[in-house]
């Protein structure tokens, strides 16, 4: 479905490009050995380079390079054999060197693409480039009335800036792009994708145009840190631009900020005010030269990507594309599924995972990963259903309560006295008792009112306190009632 903004003068289409900043998962920083752990006391994870001490020199952390290459490979991108680190010069208190080491003209990763699913179809989004850079520290302005403080723990952490082509044309596509990108990064373990911690954030470039027209002037919305905000920011910004143009005004190329409290973007600085960063090659770092062998080694190490996993799930477990897509949207869910599905009926597993468990999580408003639910907890429950120890219905009824405990399913239903009656003679006894106690109904049934079958089932279940195996009750009743 085509997305457009309805203006007074007709429909406007959106042109969207994203620059995603992803913090690389690594134990130490891009150019220093300082730890990158989150939540440490301020300024406890800082080495000479990270605090810009005189005579400090940057030394490349090879692991970060490998992570960037892996990411490049997973985005079907060309890996540049030679790339250059540049200094991006500007003054800011949380930028201790007075420049950020980044890559400007020669990034480590060049053109690539990734596919998103949109309206049931596929769309390929071009990747312009991926480059490496240092993160800045943090300024804290709310700790004291007179002073600002600086925490350099984040200073020098490795970031990948992943720049897309302006290939997206709706907020939904932008959201799908970020989700897919985040998912890929998590699958290959190069970024944890945590947007709340700021480990993944996006600059969104928005412009509007009438269909077939030249590209419009774009505005860049900086540092948007949730997928919902990305969509809201785009919606607001596109409408703002359409209104302005239709009023006969011009769009000024500028950097804007999104304010989530009132869903609007506001100007941060215009192009004229924009910094002259005076990029130049960092003389402390020789060009980064990679050889084919090292790249190939990493290519072989690349784990299964979401799209590959999806295809495999469809083939291996004979499940629908729809179900497979749900499973691979999160690496954690896919892994969870794979741990449970071994030796079990995939259809039952999927239903329990994506319907029952997901609705439980939705009620609690947490992700599967956050819930810390042990896969064994789900698999032991499914086993009880498959082996007819409890009914599907029983299982659903007890699920919420069960998940709050830390026992396995066997122990839980034993404690609850929930074991299903699957003993044939016991069930036959129950059935016979019900038939005997309801002679009128039996007569009516025999005279042709076969609808009453359900009444008998219900009575048997009631008599057994819901513990009778429904399938066996059905079978036994059928046998007893058949002429």
Partner 1 sequence: MTDFSKLNITSALLGLKNKDFKSVELTEYFINQIDKKDSLNCFITKTFDKAIDMAKRSDEKITKNQELGLLEGIPIGMKDLFCTKDIRTTAGSKILNSFIPFYESTVSKNLWDSGAVLLGKTNMDEFAMGSANTTSFFGNVINPLKSKNNDKDLVPGGSSGGSASSVAAGLCLAATGSDTGGSIRQPASFCGLVGLKPTYGRCSRFGMVAFASSLDQAGPISLTVEDSARMLQSMVSYDSKDSTSSKKKIENFLNYKKYDLKGKKIGVPKEYLIDGLNAEIKKAWDLGISWFKSVGSEIVEVSLPNTDSALPTYYIIAPAEASANLARYDGIRYGFRAEEKSDLTQLYEETRAQGFGKEVKRRLMIGTYVLSAGYYDAYYLKALKVRKLISDDFLKAFKKCDLILTPTTPNVAFPIGEKQTDPIEMYLNDVLTVPASLAGLPAISVSASLNSDSLPIGLQIIGKPFEESSILSAASVIEDSRGF
**Interacting residue ranges for partner 1, rule: CB under 8 A:** 48, 51-60, 87, 89, 91, 93, 96-99, 150, 276, 278-280, 282-286
Give Dmax over CA atoms of the chain in angstroms.
100
Please answer whether residues 36 and 27 qualify as being in contact, where contact means their C-beta atoms are separated by less than 8 angstroms: yes
Q: Residue 317 and residue 478: Cα distance in Å, rounded?
A: 34
- Dihedral of CA atoms 377, 383, 386, 390 in degrees, nearest 10, equals -70
Smallest distance from partner 1 to CB 264, Å: 27
Q: CB within 8 A of 344, min separation 6: which ones?
A: 379, 382, 383, 386
Quick one: 56 or 295, whose CB is closer to partner 1?
56
Quick one: 51 or 67, whose CB is closer to partner 1?
51
Quick one: 214 or 276, whose CB is closer to partner 1?
276
Quick one: 104 or 455, whose CB is closer to partner 1?
104
Smallest distance from partner 1 to CB 109, Å: 21
Smallest distance from partner 1 to CB 144, Å: 15
CA neighbours closer than 13 Å in the CB half-sphere of residue 323: 19
Please answer whether residues 162 and 4 qualify as being in contact, where contact means their C-beta atoms are separated by less than 8 angstroms: no
Quick one: 283 or 439, whose CB is closer to partner 1?
283
Smallest distance from partner 1 to CB 303, Å: 31
- DSSP 8-state class, residue 440: H
Q: Which residue has the tokens 């990963």?
A: 369
Quick one: 92 or 322, whose CB is closer to partner 1?
92
Quick one: 87 or 131, whose CB is closer to partner 1?
87
> 22 - beta bridge partners?
160, 200
Smallest distance from partner 1 to CB 221, Å: 24
Q: Residue 97 and residue 87: Cα distance in Å, rounded?
A: 10
Cβ density class 20-58: b for 16+ within 10 Å, e for less: bbbbbbbebbbbbebbbeeeeeeeebbbebbbbeeebeb
Smallest distance from partner 1 to CB 55, Å: 4
Smallest distance from partner 1 to CB 278, Å: 4
């Amino acid at each position: 479905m085509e997305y457009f903004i309805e203006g007074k003068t007709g429909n406007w289409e959106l042109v969207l490009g994203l620059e995603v900043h992803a913090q690389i998962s690594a134990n130490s920083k891009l150019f220093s050995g300082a730890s990158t752990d989150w939540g440490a006391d301020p300024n406890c994870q800082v080495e000479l380079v990270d605090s810009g001490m005189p005579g400090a020199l940057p030394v490349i952390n090879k692991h970060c390079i490998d992570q960037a290459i892996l990411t490049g490979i997973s985005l079907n991108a060309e890996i540049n054999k030679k790339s250059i680190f540049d200094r991006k010069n500007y003054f800011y208190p949380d930028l201790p060197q007075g420049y950020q080491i980044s890559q400007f003209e020669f990034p480590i990763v060049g053109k690539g693409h990734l596919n998103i699913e949109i309206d049931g179809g596929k769309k390929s989004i071009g990747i312009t480039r991926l480059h490496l850079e240092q993160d800045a520290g943090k300024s804290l302005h709310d700790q004291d009335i007179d002073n600002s403080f600086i925490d350099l723990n984040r200073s020098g952490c490795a970031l990948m800036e992943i720049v897309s082509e302006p290939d997206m044309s709706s907020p939904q596509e932008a959201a799908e792009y970020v989700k897919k990108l985040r998912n890929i990064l998590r699958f290959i373990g190069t970024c944890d994708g945590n947007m709340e911690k700021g480990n993944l954030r996006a600059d969104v470039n928005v412009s509007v145009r009438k269909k077939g027209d030249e590209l419009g002037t774009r505005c860049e919305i900086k540092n948007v840190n949730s997928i919902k905000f990305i969509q809201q920011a785009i919606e607001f910004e596109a409408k703002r631009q359409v209104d302005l143009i239709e009023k006969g005004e011009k769009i000024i190329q500028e950097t804007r900020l999104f304010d989530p409290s009132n869903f609007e973007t506001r100007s941060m600085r215009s192009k004229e005010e924009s910094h002259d960063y005076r990029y130049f090659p960092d003389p402390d770092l020789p060009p980064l030269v990679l050889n084919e062998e090292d790249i190939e080694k990493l290519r072989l190490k690349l784990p299964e990507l979401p799209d590959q996993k999806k295809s495999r799930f469809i083939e291996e477990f004979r499940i629908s594309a729809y179900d497979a897509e749900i499973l691979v949207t999160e690496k954690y869910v896919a892994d969870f599924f794979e741990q449970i599905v071994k030796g079990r009926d995939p259809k039952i597993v999927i239903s329990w995972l994506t319907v029952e468990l997901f609705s439980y999580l939705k009620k609690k408003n947490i992700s599967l990963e956050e819930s810390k639910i042990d896969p064994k907890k789900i698999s032991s429950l499914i086993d009880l259903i498959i082996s007819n120890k409890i009914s599907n219905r029983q299982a659903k009824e007890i699920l919420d309560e069960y998940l709050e405990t830390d026992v396995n399913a066997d122990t839980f239903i034993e404690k609850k006295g929930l074991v299903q009656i699957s003993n044939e003679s016991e069930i036959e006894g129950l059935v016979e008792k019900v038939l005997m106690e309801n002679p009128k109904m039996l007569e009516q049934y025999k005279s042709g009112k076969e609808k009453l079958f359900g009444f008998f089932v219900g009575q048997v279940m009631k008599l057994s306190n819901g513990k009778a195996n429904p399938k066996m009750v059905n079978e036994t009743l059928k046998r007893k009632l058949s002429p």
